[in-house]
A and B are shown apart, each in its own frame.
Chain A
Amino acid sequence: MRVADLKTMAEQESAALAVFRARLLVCYSAPCLAAGADAVREALEKEVAGRGLAADVQLVSTGCLGPCSRGPMVTVSQPGQADAVYEKVTPETAVAILDHHASQGPPADGFRMSPENPFLTRQMRVALANCGLIDPERIEDYIARGGYGGLAHALHELDPSEVCFEIKHSGLRGRGGGGYPTGLKWNLVRKAPGAKKYVVANGDEGDPGAYMDRTLMESDPHRVLEGMAIAGYAVGAEQGFIYVRGEYPVAAQRLDKAIKAAERLGLLGSRVLESNFNFRIDIRIGAGAFVCGEETALMASIMGLRGQPVPRPPYPAQKGLWGCPTLINNVETFGNVPDIVSKGSDWYAASGTPKCRGTKVFALCGQVENTGLVEVPMGMTLREIVYDLGGGIPGGRAFKAVQTGGPSGGCIPASHLDTPVDYEGLQQLGSIMGSGGFIVMDDRSCMVDVARFFMEFCLDESCGKCVPCRAGTVQMHRILTRITQGKAGPDDLEKLEALCEMVRDSSLCGLGQAAPNPVLSTLRWFRDEYEAHIHEKRCPAGVCRLTPSEGGER
């Protein structure tokens, strides 16, 4: 395929779509399927066939649209009109929606999400731009929306150093959580000496409550592949690996289909888009270890070894897969790349904050009205995310804290809700941006119990290689359990803090170094809760069942 063919294909596809009076996009991702998207689609299919509307109305099963608590979602796209988004659609309302949009029936406004809903209006979708709007299994859908245009532009109009410069200039930083400047990393790998280089996409998303990467891989797999191919061209790699978490079989299937489709069209494989650039992508599937999200452990796993981290330096950019320079970026980072290249780095750098450009996807969950995936510009405050996009706390309860960054992150209290979200801002509060988990908690959450939960996660997921993480997490978890049971002694808090510091400072990899974060941050903002458990044998939130003594059980 040549660049001209790509354009022709996009035009033909757009023309083919323009003939439909209405396109009904049924969200077919896991939350909507669980809520009954299957029945909705079936009812629509029957109705469309029954009324002989097949030539006027197109039914599409899409990936995730975002507002997951409101599923099943149906979006109606009509030429010349703004998209109408319907929530909590049942087979009956689906028919009413069809009536309205295809047969001039009365509006089904009762089920329509208000177009002014901040959940829709406040977002800025870059990585998620196509999610919920295209059929992830059709490469034509992606191409119709400008897909692979970034790759074509890079291959035919830019040389590798210019691509790296564009990425650097865009201000994009690693979306896996570390926030390392992406352009800098690409340049490191490009300049590293080596006949063979590799590109790896980290799709081993393991934080509890986080599903940004899964959604991206399931709903818009080609975007990730295009980002990787551009990276391959920029750093001089001919082989890419995409490491998909074992718990994401649908993502792996869709990526596999996408790779085959792209290879058939000459968008991957040998002589990509008739250039001299060759790029293959293979999928590697994880086997359920959280630590394999750590880059050195991930590489060990790709090479068929036990998934254990090794000390850095040497960094993967110098010595990675099979000793060759290797570029590792998160799936979401790659998801931003195609648009940066096709629309220009200035366009991307225009959003966000001076230090953190662009957007970030968050998985809003916990005690908020609107749970789901949101992509917002960097620098939006926590309050805007929780109250505007999230719609506030259900039942009029009080906001207590938001947990960001999963087991490596921390809890941020209500007094800091006006903090703008960026890497440094969250770090100053003792949390991290992380991959984008965003768990909102109300006054019914006990912060000691939350810390205990995350410590349990870390002790279970520790690989066991270094002593501080392997044995330290066990002891920290025991102390936290004692506190939540009301059995802790007065010296336990001191012991816990000392352990936290030691494990943070001396563990081998990021998992151990960050494992004490949930404890340290809750100690920082909610120390009184720890003290109430220990000294008064009382759980202020009423969560922990303390052994009855002076304070009694609540």
Chain B
Amino acid sequence: MPVVTLTINDELVSALDGELLLKVIREQGVKLPTLCHLDGLSERGGCRLCMVEVEGIHRLQSACTTAAREGMVVRTHTDRLVSYRKMILELLFAERNHVCAVCVMNRHCELQDVAAKAGVDHVRYDYLATGLPMDTSHERFGLDQNRCILCGRCQRVCDEVEGAHTWDVMGRGAGSRVITDLNHPWGESRSCTSCGKCVQVCPTGALFNKGVTVSEMEKEPEFLTRILEGREKKQWSR
């Protein structure tokens, strides 16, 4: 694969042609927030937090879905980008009920972490207070729709890594909901293998282990790269 040179925030950077911009940017030590991206899963480009400005392209580009090309001039933290990121995070907080003080993921939550780092200290928009149902029918795990940010990680890990495709999304727009099977209770799902990968990759407290209380839920999404590497090396084959 040919090597290319591009400019990121006024610094010359080398990369492989076609390598994802997000990876190149992060290798440079530039902190770019993401919520839907997770190493080991396919890219989605849905949270729009990793947007960057690329010279010569009119629209903002999500770094997680843009390929590095020769001569690209990329900016990651212009005033406009910083303010847009804050707005997007505020929109997420306003959309459902993200009340950290009573959440199992308090202090371990990716949404909380990203927002704190982006300097979100208040929300300018109306809280929609959705009051969505919970699904605690599974014997080990629970789902709280009110904390879901529709990042699609659970769907992708279930489909791409576990191969079960239990999770999907129904409805559209603000009415979108993650569902198991054809909107059957999780506990009655015939496709779910109860592997728990979805719980581990969920960035918020939407998916959690039963029995934990406030701030007790800790997740380890890095397990994903570990098992994917293991698979590649046929670490577990007999």
Contact = CB atoms under 8 A, between A and B. Distances in A.
Interface of A: 289, 291, 306, 310-311, 313, 459-468, 470-475, 478, 495, 498-499, 502, 505-508, 513
B87 interface: yes
Contact of A505 (B59, B65, B95): B59
Contacts of B175: 464
Interface centre among B48, B60, B92, B128 (most CB of A within 10 A): B48
A313 B60 CA distance: 13
Given A471-B94, A506-B60, A466 B48 contact: yes
Given A467-B46, A502-B84, A506-B51, A459 B173 contact: yes
A311 B62 contact: yes
Interface centre among A463, A465, A466, A471 (most CB of B within 10 A): A471
Given A474-B128, A508-B48, A464 B169 contact: yes
B45 A311 contact: yes
8 contacts: A289-B172, A311-B65, A464-B173, A466-B48, A467-B46, A467-B92, A505-B59, A508-B45
Given A467-B88, A471-B95, A506-B60, A461 B45 contact: no
A467 B47 contact: yes
Nearest to A312: B65
Nearest to B95: A471
Given A466-B45, A508-B48, 9 more contacts: A291-B172, A310-B45, A311-B62, A463-B172, A473-B174, A475-B125, A478-B126, A505-B59, A508-B45
Contacts of B114: none
A484 to B, nearest CB: 16
Interface residues of B, number: 36
Given A467-B46, A506-B60, A508-B46, A495 B124 contact: yes
A506 B48 contact: yes
A136 B85 CA distance: 53
Contacts of A508: 45-46, 48, 62
B48 A464 contact: no
B171 interface: yes
Contact of B126 (A460, A462, A475, A505): A475
B51 to A, nearest CB: 5
A91 to B, nearest CB: 46
Contacts of A467: 46-48, 88, 91-92, 149
Interface in B151-176: 152, 168-169, 171-176
Contact of A464 (B59, B87, B126, B150): B150
B87 A499 contact: yes
A498 B60 CA distance: 16
Given A462-B173, A464-B175, A464-B176, A474 B95 contact: yes
Contacts of B169: 306, 464
A44 B51 CA distance: 65
A313 to B, nearest CB: 8
A475 B171 CA distance: 19
A499 B173 CA distance: 17
A473 B60 CA distance: 18
Contacts of B176: 463-464, 470
B88 A461 contact: no
A459 B172 CA distance: 9
Contact of A466 (B46, B66, B94): B46
A513 B60 CA distance: 11
Given A468-B91, A475-B125, A502-B87, A459 B47 contact: no
A324 B65 CA distance: 19
A406 to B, nearest CB: 17
B87 A470 contact: no
Contacts of A462: 172-174
A465 B176 CA distance: 9
A506 B88 contact: yes
A306 B171 CA distance: 10
A289 B126 CA distance: 27
Contacts of B95: 470-471, 474
Nearest to B173: A462
B46 A465 contact: yes
A313 B18 CA distance: 12
A318 B154 CA distance: 29
A524 to B, nearest CB: 19
A474 B126 CA distance: 10
Contacts of B150: 464-465, 470
Interface centre among A467, A475, A499 (most CB of B within 10 A): A467
B200 to A, nearest CB: 22
B44 to A, nearest CB: 8
Given A465-B46, A478-B126, A498-B87, A470 B65 contact: no
Contacts of B125: 475, 478, 495
A311 B44 CA distance: 8
A291 B168 CA distance: 18
A64 to B, nearest CB: 31
A474 B127 CA distance: 11
Interface centre among A313, A468, A507 (most CB of B within 10 A): A468
A289 B169 CA distance: 15
A505 B84 contact: yes
Contacts of A291: 172
B59 A475 contact: no
B126 A470 contact: no
B98 to A, nearest CB: 12
A314 B89 CA distance: 28
A507 B152 CA distance: 17
Interface in B31-53: 44-48, 51
Contacts of A460: 173
Interface in B112-155: 124-126, 128, 149-150, 152
Contacts of A461: 172-173
Interface string B69-91: 00000000000100110011001
Contacts of B173: 459-464, 470, 473-474
A474 B172 CA distance: 13
Contacts of B45: 310-311, 466, 508
Given A498-B87, A505-B59, A468 B48 contact: yes
Interface centre among B51, B149, B176 (most CB of A within 10 A): B176
